[in-house]
């Protein structure tokens, strides 16, 4: 039998923010949203992508002949390295391996479930003493539901806690299937107003809120997360709308509260490496005063509301 492979772009160990205890994060590639502030742009496309640190490149041309797809070239006029992003990278990593300046990185790697389990199992001891486990991030793992289901089933069988960060944009049957093997959802709510949600992320929010409601109603463990941006979703109206939405679940044991994740600029240099424009044009950073104000919209809710600064 050919084992199913997941397309991932990173594995991060000893994470303390994305679920209980110490966690191994596995980043799945491909996402249905295009958030303007995305800090993992290399996770958006479900395809291999070439990333170049142009400041490290010495324009030697070693990557040119090894690429079977003809993606690299040295311009005869400028003598600079150029990348043809219209051609499909097949992820062979020959260019990455040959580059003497380590200027290239290929985003995307296919891993079988047993290969992922091998990586995850390496830190079993840490999960056991900290109450940790594995968290899927991305991108959006629910774009590869079969891989998620198989991986989480293997984790369950190995007694490893499973969590998933999600944008919540998936077909209801996918959410239901994945929920069977997921111990905790870290569920993003980016905006309660569908038009504003569309502007900021490229999709409307109705199906996302339906999925959130379904998970909460069906007693799946959920922590809601707000990626917070000044002048996008830090206003009273949208936060009170979310508060009202969550009110019925205040006493539910499976509803674990709200995490507020203030905007940061950590992903900006990855846009340069992908040769993409950074879509977030404003300055949506928040002061401590802004954060205190947003937290105050949730005064007295009866569930935990925390600000998580990465």
Residues of this chain that interact with ligand SF4 (CB under 6 A) are 48, 50, 57-63, 66-69, 71-72, 81, 89-95, 99, 101, 103-104, 106
For residue 49, the minimal CB distance to ligand SF4 (Å) is 9
CB of 110 to ligand SF4, least distance (A): 12
CB contact set of 77 (below 8 Å; sequence gap of 6+) = none
The residue among 81 and 191 lying less far from ligand SF4, judged by its C-beta, is: 81
d(CA 40, CA 43): 5
Token digits of residue 301 = 């809710």
Minimum distance, C-beta of residue 174 to ligand SF4, in the bound complex (Å): 30
Minimum CB separation of residue 53 from ligand SF4 in Å reads 8
Q: Tell me, rounded to whole angstroms, the distance of Cα 205 from its chain centroid.
A: 18
Residue among 103 and 167 whose Cβ is closer to ligand SF4: 103
Tokens (6 digits) for 137: 């991030």
Residue 269 beta carbon to ligand SF4: minimum distance, rounded to whole angstroms: 16
Q: Which one, 72 or 191, has the nearer CB to ligand SF4?
A: 72
Q: Which of residues 67 and 208 has its CB atom nearest to ligand SF4 in the complex?
A: 67
**Closest separation between CB of residue 102 and ligand SF4, Å?**
8
In 3D, which of 24, 16, 31 has the Cα closest to residue 259? 16
Shortest spacing between CB 48 and ligand SF4, in angstroms: 6
For residue 101, what are its two tokens? 């300046």
User: Which residue do the tokens 């003493």 mark?
Assistant: 129
Residue 71 or 116 with smaller CB distance to ligand SF4? 71
Q: What span, in angstroms and rounded, lies between the C-alpha atoms of 18 and 29?
A: 18
Three-state secondary structure call for residue 106: strand
State which H helix or E strand residue 206 sits in.
helix 206-217
In terms of CB distance, is 104 or 113 closer to ligand SF4? Answer: 104
Residue 148's SS3 state is helix
Q: 179 is written with which tokens? A: 């929920």
Q: Which residues of 29-38 are buried (b: 16+ CB within 10 A; e: fewer)?
A: bbbbbebbbb
Q: Is 48 or 169 the residue whose CB approaches ligand SF4 more closely?
A: 48
Distance of CA 189 to the CA centre of its chain: 14
């Amino acid at each position: 039998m050919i084992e199913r492979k997941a397309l991932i772009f990173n594995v991060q160990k000893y994470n303390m923010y994305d679920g209980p205890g110490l966690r191994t994060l596995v980043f799945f590639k491909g996402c249905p949203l295009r958030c303007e502030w995305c800090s993992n742009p290399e996770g958006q496309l479900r395809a291999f992508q070439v990333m170049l640190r142009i400041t490290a490149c010495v324009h030697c041309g070693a990557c040119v002949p090894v690429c079977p797809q003809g993606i690299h070239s040295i311009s005869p006029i400028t003598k600079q390295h150029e990348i043809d992003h219209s051609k499909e990278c097949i992820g062979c990593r020959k260019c990455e391996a040959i580059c003497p300046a380590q200027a290239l990185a290929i985003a995307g790697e296919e891993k079988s479930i047993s290969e992922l389990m091998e990586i995850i199992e390496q830190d079993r001891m840490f999960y056991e003493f900290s109450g940790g486990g594995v968290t899927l991030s991305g991108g959006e793992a629910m774009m590869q539901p079969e891989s998620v289901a198989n991986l989480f089933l293997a984790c369950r069988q190995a007694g490893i806690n499973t969590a998933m960060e999600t944008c919540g944009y998936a077909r209801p049957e996918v959410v239901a299937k994945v929920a069977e093997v997921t111990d905790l959802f870290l569920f993003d709510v980016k905006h309660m107003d569908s038009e504003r949600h569309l502007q900021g992320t490229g999709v409307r929010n109705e199906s996302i809120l339906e999925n959130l409601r379904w998970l909460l109603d069906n007693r799946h463990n959920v922590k809601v997360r707000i990626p917070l941006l000044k002048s996008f979703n830090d206003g009273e109206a949208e936060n009170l709308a979310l508060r009202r939405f969550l009110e019925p679940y205040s006493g539910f044991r499976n509803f674990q509260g709200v995490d507020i994740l203030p905007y940061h600029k950590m992903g900006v240099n990855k846009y340069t490496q992908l040769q993409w424009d950074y879509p977030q044009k404003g300055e949506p950073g928040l002061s401590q005063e802004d954060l205190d104000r947003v937290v105050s919209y949730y005064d007295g809710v009866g569930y935990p509301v925390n600000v998580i600064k990465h």
